[in-house]
Amino acid sequence: MKRRNVIAAIGTLAIGSGTAIGTGAFNATSTSADSSMSIITERSDVDVDVNPGSGAGSGNIRDSLYSDTEIENIDVDDLPLAAVADNGQGMVHVQIIGVVGTDETFSNIVELTNNDADQSYEMGFYYDGGFTEEVTSGDKLSKSEATDVFEFTHDSTVISSLDGSSGGTVQLDAAGGTNDTVQVSIDFNGTDTRLNEEYGLSAGGFGTNGATQLELIDQVTAFADEV
């Protein structure tokens, strides 16, 4: 019987609306260096490291986190942006700042590495239990709709879902195998129909309540099933 090992990831996946705030600085009132998404491995259960991927430091994926001051002064025309940084012990911090109406794939932003020479894993991500009040209040996006905005992918296969039962997985060979390290991307789907219906310009954007940034997901969980 397979044994599921839970790898916790906490932090923030955020959206912003350029149409609501116009050009100039992206005044992200609640996004900060401290609210980055942290992907954390429980090393006592599974010997898998999460590291910055091969795409870190290229394109619009920075290989160090944005400071609070830098975030406050981001130009909306430069969005979407991401950053990833190694925080030690097989863990990373990830920042993503997307803008409604724009799609972006942050290719190979993180990598998964299996250090266990005796065990292979099937790995994926799920969001259930990790939504902010913006989603759980039920006023706008449902939980399943929010998961469509941020998707973890490997070789164009979505490996994330609401509860881990419907999404795909990626297999990590035992250490020393051909695929003991795999690259994972994060797709930001800012043109998603439901997202635009609720947060796009036609819906008043964020200007109606004076906010320029809202968080949808504050926790992601990665799982590893023994193969």
Q: What is the DSSP string of 144-188?
A: HHHHTTEEEEETTEE-EESSSSSS--EEEPPTTSTTSEEEEEEEE
- Helix/strand/coil for 8: strand
| Cβ–Cβ < 8 Å for 121, 46 | yes
* Confidence check: pLDDT of 70 > 50: yes
> Of 23, 124, 32, 29, which Cα lies nearest the Cα of 70?
32
List residues bridging with 152 in a β-sheet: 186
Q: Which residues of 165-204 are buried (b: 16+ CB within 10 A; e: fewer)?
A: eebebbebbbbeeeebbbbbbbbbbbebebbbebbbeebe
| Interval 79-115: pLDDT, tens | 788 888 887 767 777 888 777 778 899 999 989 999 8
Q: What is the pLDDT of residues 26-60, one digit of tens each?
A: 333 344 444 555 554 444 467 888 889 999 999 99
Taking CA atoms, 180 is separated from 84, 141, 142, 201, 222, in Å, by 21, 37, 36, 44, 17
Q: What is the pLDDT of residue 45?
A: 65
**CA–CA separation, 36 vs 109, rounded Å?**
14
Q: What is the pLDDT of residue 39?
A: 56
Cβ within 8 Å of residue 73, ≥6 positions away: 25, 26
Both tokens assigned to 117: 């020479």
Task: Evaluate whether 227 touches 122 at the Cβ level (below 8 Å).
Answer: yes
In this structure, of 22-26, 70-74, 100-104, the range with the lowest mean pLDDT score is: 22-26
